[in-house]
Amino acid sequence: EAQVTQNPRYLITVTGKKLTVTCSQNMNHEYMSWYRQDPGLGLRQIYYSMNVEVTDKGDVPEGYKVSRKEKRNFPLILESPSPNQTSLYFCASSFGAGPGELFFGEGSRLTVL
């Protein structure tokens, strides 16, 4: 089954404790992206990657890191999480380097205390 898989789905952590949210897609998509979703603000792009070893900042990259060492994986790293990073995070992928239908994961709800 074609899918985007995120882990963990739910996480409660404390300020400053490094964490990684993994994202994996099995559709051989070139493009992958991370979004955060907050009430009233819709989805905002954090980082995106057009291919292996190519990453770029989105609208809200501060406090986040990403890497794209393999085509299928695009982990989101929070080196020192803060409470304002409490949010619902979505990973997405699409076939080509240009825009098109994005396939989203189920989301990861992160709470930073």
**Binding positions for other proteins, rule: CB under 8 A:** 4, 31, 33, 35, 40-45, 48, 50, 56, 58-59, 90, 92, 97-107
Minimum CB distance to other proteins, residue 90 (Å) = 5
**Phi, psi torsion values for 81, nearest 5 degrees:** -60, 145
CA distance 5 to 73: 10
Q: Residue 91 or 112: which CB sits closer to other proteins?
A: 91
Q: Which of 59, 58, 77, 60 is nearest to 69 (CA)?
A: 77
* Contact assessment for residue 3 and residue 104, using Cβ atoms and an 8 Å cutoff: no
Minimum CB distance to other proteins, residue 63 (Å) = 19
Minimum CB distance to other proteins, residue 81 (Å) = 22
- CA end-to-end distance (rounded Å), the chain: 36
Q: Residue 45 or 67: which CB sits closer to other proteins?
A: 45
Minimum CB distance to other proteins, residue 9 (Å) = 10
